[in-house]
């Protein structure tokens, strides 16, 4: 699918560049921008970093994604791709420094993943993430089990219809095949959406910069062919 326009919805501002540099024939085709995620009450926010620092989407660190301007006691939780329950890694903000194990930089902050941000103090504010939009053929692996997932690109919409997550149709069954859980920021609750017999009962609607729990009975590959024009 060739996507001509990112769905901005006041959360994303991106600019595509095909700019001639200093009377030369050098062009930049990168698309850069920022995502704003609003936080209100203290609590937990399921966030997706969908902008990247190095064109690969695999080298983001907690500092490059979130910076260091967060109150003491702020925590970021990241998870392994699957497991019941999934293994947890966490970073703690202490006097402008993230106290984090190396694993936090490998899980949750990359393309198609997600993390949980714990707001511990203060009123409404905004988390801003800056970087490059990934384009081209993008493969987002869904493994069997429970994990946090997100779109690899900053686009809002229905999970299958707009964002392209195709899940296996295992035929008639009384068991839930997949279930996606959205978290209402700050105080919850979870909103569960079931995928049974090849269809969503209610298809999840995902915002820019939002991650979600996905309980998968079997693995799948979330494919996108994404181009900004």
Average pLDDT over residues 30-41: 88
Q: What is the pTM of this model?
A: 0.80
**Domain ranges in the chain?**
37-131, 132-226
Q: Which two tokens stand for residue 152?
A: 């690899």
pLDDT in tens, 58-103: 778 888 899 999 999 999 988 876 555 567 788 999 999 999 776 7
pLDDT of 57: 62
Q: Which two tokens stand for residue 177?
A: 């095949």
Nearest to 122 by CA among 48, 70, 76: 70
Contact 55, 130 (CB under 8 A): no
Higher pLDDT, 52 or 197: 52
């Amino acid at each position: 699918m060739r996507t001509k326009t990112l769905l901005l919805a006041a959360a994303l501002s991106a600019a595509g560049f095909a700019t001639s540099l200093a009377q030369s024939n050098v062009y930049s085709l990168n698309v850069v921008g920022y995502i704003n995620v609003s936080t209100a009450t203290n609590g937990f926010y399921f966030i997706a970093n969908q902008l990247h620092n190095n064109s690969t989407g695999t080298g983001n660190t907690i500092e490059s994604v979130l910076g260091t301007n967060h109150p003491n006691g702020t925590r970021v939780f990241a998870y392994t791709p699957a497991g019941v329950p999934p293994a947890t890694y966490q970073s703690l903000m202490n006097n402008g420094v993230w106290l984090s194990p190396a694993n936090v930089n490998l899980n949750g902050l990359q393309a198609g993943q997600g993390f949980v941000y714990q707001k511990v103090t203060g009123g409404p504010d905004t988390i801003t993430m800056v970087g490059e939009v990934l384009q081209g053929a993008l493969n987002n692996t869904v493994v069997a089990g429970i994990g946090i997932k997100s779109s690899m690109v900053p686009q809002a919409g229905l999970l299958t219809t707009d964002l392209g997550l195709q899940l296996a149709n295992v035929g008639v069954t009384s068991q839930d095949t997949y279930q996606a859980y959205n978290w209402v920021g700050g105080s919850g609750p979870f909103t569960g959406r079931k995928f049974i017999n090849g269809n969503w009962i209610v298809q999840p609607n995902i915002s820019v910069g939002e991650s979600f729990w996905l309980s998968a009975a079997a693995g799948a590959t979330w494919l996108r062919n994404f181009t900004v024009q």
